[in-house]
Each structure stands twice: as C-alpha cells, then as structure tokens.
Amino acid sequence: MSSYHGIIIKEGLKDPSMLNEMKILGRKSTTIGTLLRVEVEEDRIHATVKLVQMNLLKEPVYYAHFYRDQELIVIFPEKVFHLTPDKETWKAAIEYGKSVGVPVEELDFKPCRFEDETY
C-alpha cells in the first residue's frame, strides 16, 4: 500500500491534536507558521482529507495539501480540489484561494512530489 505525503500549517488548525492521526516526517519554521510534512496511508486519505478540512481555520483562511505520484489534493475549509503536480491544473485552486484571502505567493502547493521534498 502506498502513502500520501502532505503539508499542513500547524497554526492553521483549530485542533492540532488531530495531527496525532498522522506520521510527522519533517517540520520547517517559516514566516507563515510551522510547516509540517506528514504521511497518511492510502486507505486513510479520504477520512484524513475530511478531518483536515473540518479543522482548518477560516479566519484567516488556511489550506493544506496532500500528494503522491500524479495526484495533488488541495484542501480549503470550504472546498477540495483534485489536481496533478502539473501547474497547468492549478488555476481553479489558485483563483479560489485568492478569492478567500490567501496571498497568491502562498498558493504554490510545494512540495507536491516526493522528489521535491527538502525537510
């Protein structure tokens, strides 16, 4: 069974204890908060997407994303996008993110492939 990796901003969660459901692979401090690189098994991805979506702060709006192979799942509090690592597929998610107040420079969905991970 393969797994998904994801990026979640710890400070963007209503209840950070939900992270206990995931394996934390790495962390990185940035100006927007603590980025956590997590792992979720394939058979738990749908439940995890729902759990993350329910826990994302709406004011200001935060998002998270999960990825593997040619899949990229971008999760906002009110909407989920199923994309690919190809930036050409990101337009709807970027436009939506901007419409709910996420700065465009934060809508890069990186990393979105295992080989691009740096922490």
pLDDT classification of 10: cutoffs 50, 70, 90: very high
Statement: residue 41 has pLDDT above 80: yes
| CB neighbours of residue 8 within 10 Å | 27
First to last CA, the chain: 23
pLDDT tens readout for residues 62-88: 999 999 999 999 999 999 999 999 999
Q: For residues 7 and 63, what is the distance between their CA atoms, to the nearest angstrom? A: 9
For residue 21, the model assigns a pLDDT of 86
The per-residue pLDDT of the chain, averaged, comes to 96
For residue 14, the model assigns a pLDDT of 97
3-state percent breakdown (helix, strand, coil) of the chain, nearest 5:
35, 35, 30
**What percent of the chain stands above pLDDT 70?**
99
Span 99-107, average pLDDT: 96
Span 32-37, average pLDDT: 96
Statement: residue 1 has pLDDT above 70: no
